[in-house]
Chain A
Amino acid sequence: MRTGDYRASYAQDEALFVTPVQRAWLLALIVGLAAFPWAAGSYLTYIAVLLGIHVISATGLNIMTGYTGLISLGHAAFMGVGCYAVAYAANAGVPFWIALPLGGLASAAIGLVVGIPSLRIKGLYFAIATLAAQFVLGFVFREWEPVTGGVRGVNLPAPSLFGLAIEGDRAVYYIVVPAAVAMLVAARNLFRTRVGRAFIAIRDRDISAEVLGISLLRYKLTAFAIGSFYAGVAGGLWGYFFRAATPEAFSLGLSVFYLAAIIVGGLGSILGGILGAAFMTMVPEALRAIVAWIAPWYPPATVLLSPMREIVFGALIVGFLVFEPHGLAEMWRRVRRFFHLWPFKT
């Protein structure tokens, strides 16, 4: 029989960063992120901002699809809702730190409506319902001119803080990255509690989830609302970054991009969303860089290799799925187990 203070020892067992080494790593990570735009050039800063936005959105999709089992093909449209809502608010003079959560809430509200059928229809059938939402929302973006500006879209003012405009990628980086970090922490916390466990229980076996007192409707809608909130905030950040909201930005292609990201990264893993978004953002960039590097030696390269890029990218995705069906996160875990170095509990 065990004696002593349960609370202290379990609190430690339940904590995320326990050892001094882990805390040191965490501190290093924060300092690294803060210093990044100054150390890296403008191109890398641009990529980092884009990656931050993709990480937020992919994490949102992972909460609904990877953790709760609700496949969504309309994630880009939810981002669009957030982007247009933020554009509308920003043009009405609302400061960015209010506009962004508002964009998230607008998207969550639409997400709730789209999520309602999830109680009745499951799996692929539900995915088709979200596909319909993608097209319907796309139609709204194009046609609701007074709000969305139609096919031309709308522009956004630069966000500002205390009257100072936040312009340029480096400045936007300091909005996007803290937002991404905060939302990742929030997502990680979610899965330490009853709410996150309920999501996973619904994904794995909805019937016995009910016996445990989990209301399917309530938690499926909660997962959908949270996922769309993430998408909405990501969409709003996208708007501030590109200073525009246009219908073609939030197409089915982008929805598939996020699905690919969480599948490659690891379904039902916060780290998976990050790694998957990184893969999807950086591999095409890397391939582009390789082509540009070859071009001087072999001028036809640009013409010949550009189409090859897409093929190589596709082949890489398929390769990952075949060799590591649990995604990059699982690969990472294996590497870590091997080295026993990395401090983060996942």
Chain B
Amino acid sequence: MTLDGFLKRHGGWLEAGPEEGPVISSRIRLARNLRETTFPGWASKEVRNRVWSEVLLAFDGVEDSKSFLRWRMDELSALDRELLFERHLISRELAERQTGSGVFVNEDECRAVMVNEEDHIRLQSLQPGLNLQKAWDIADELDNALEKSLSYAFSSKLGYLTACPSNVGTGLRASVMLHLPGLVLTEEIKPVINAVSKIGLAVRGLWGEGSEASGHMFQISNQITLGKPEAEIIAHLEQIVLEVIEHEKNARLRLMGKQEIRVHDHVGRAYGILANAALMTTGEALDLLSALRLGVDLGLLPNMVRREIDQLFIRIHPAHLQKEAGAALSPEERDIKRAQLIRKFLDGK
């Protein structure tokens, strides 16, 4: 299958999942490196190419290796790299790397293995909704399969050795992607972000930073990777995420209790603009789609399905629009296409 095949489908992690209202998806990422081998940022081209080959061979040990597609960054156009980034399959950092860097992605996009990013291997497992445990089980299994033929850099004291000491130990970054419009609209998001940051977790906007995050999408992840078993890191994150969800739900209840007319107005105006605008920037679209998604959650838009809106959140990005159009588009042409895409979606409702 080619990259274009992605356009006709959505990632498996965009299916329905637990706590799917405020939660989009759960992700587990593991950093691994090969023993006695220079880290990608400091390695020669020869070493980076050798690492790519070793990982390629290691995939023989993965039971469903045939369901993985693979691309090397140096054989992809800038637009294709951007497409993978917009689908959360590779990082910005990998997209900008060349020799020996690449990615393995399984067909439902729930598993991806980046090679020669900051570390030799960055393995990720994505699940819809709040489901860190399942994401962990899948990542763990893939890690075990690759390890059958790879010799990882490991020390009994410091665990898995990584290029940056902030990842050392478990090499685990667990994160949950959350949609928190209730907390943003009630202006409670800042104290929540500050409180979560203080207990050793990181909060960042999925698109943009802090309380300015476009689309009201946030990612909460662990910072500490050493000194605790994986299960403990995951359980702690999950517990805090559940508390944030509780805050979000309460904020929504309060909005619907005291300010129901304002919520109707907020969602209705977003619908009105999305249904009629002829030019739409990415940032504006993300914020308006966020209002639509909130409207669906609150039962104000009975003809719409949350997952369709979640797909739009990805399809309105520049590389997706250009791949779909089959041509490079100027920023203004993209704004036109984006407005068209959304209008067409709402027409069918």
Q: A and B: real partners?
A: no
Interface, chain B (partner A; CB < 8 A): none
Interface, chain A (partner B; CB < 8 A): none
